[in-house]
Amino acid sequence: MTENLFELFEEKGIRYCVVGGQAVNHYVEPLVSLDLDLVVATDQLEAVEALLAERFDVRRFPHSLNVTPPASDLRIQIQTDPRYNVFVDRAERGNVLGITMPVASVRDVLQGKVWAAQDPSRRPSKRRKDLLDIERLVEVDPSLRESVPLEILQRIEP
């Protein structure tokens, strides 16, 4: 079912990339997650929403489109926050959930996790997972530490 979404993106020339926890899983030892966060090129977002609404359950929220494929437990969230738009152009192909697709660069994934960890409107449990994801990325690539704000470093390092 999920593959159909990516086949549709490929067929229609939709520029996108994976961000969030599944992107983190691409770079480090994976953790189980039923969420798949994507960013779509801004100039294609309106067309993507209409296209997906023809085949999937699509719900709009202030900073995302939530897409539910039929007969799937996977929760797909397309970020609409404009800060993420530049991630699409820097993405590289990688394997996520057994499918080759564009994945945001490791620095962009880290930046997205920093924004999420600093967002007071997110549930505390989500922000703690964001901190864990930041910690996992820095463990694998210590050079990323320089891109993490001090307030977050103090929360993830003893």
Which CATH number does the domain housing residue 89 bear?
A: 3.30.460.40
Cβ partners under 8 Å of residue 50, min gap 6: none
Segment 145-151 long-range contacts (CB within 8 Å, at least 24 positions apart): 147/107, 147/110, 147/111, 147/114, 148/110, 148/114, 149/114, 149/118
Question: In 3D, which of 57, 63, 23 has the Cα closest to residue 45?
Answer: 63
Q: Which helix (H) or strand (E) holds 2?
A: helix 2-12
Residue 62 has pLDDT above 70, yes or no: yes
Q: So what's the pLDDT on residue 30?
A: 87
pLDDT exceeds cutoff 90 at 46: yes
53 Cα distance to chain centroid: 20
Number of domains in the chain: 1
The pLDDT score that the predictor gives to residue 76 is 92
Q: Is the pLDDT of residue 1 over 60?
A: no
Domain that holds residue 137: 2-156
pTM of the model: 0.90
First to last CA, the chain: 43
Identify the pLDDT of residue 98: 87
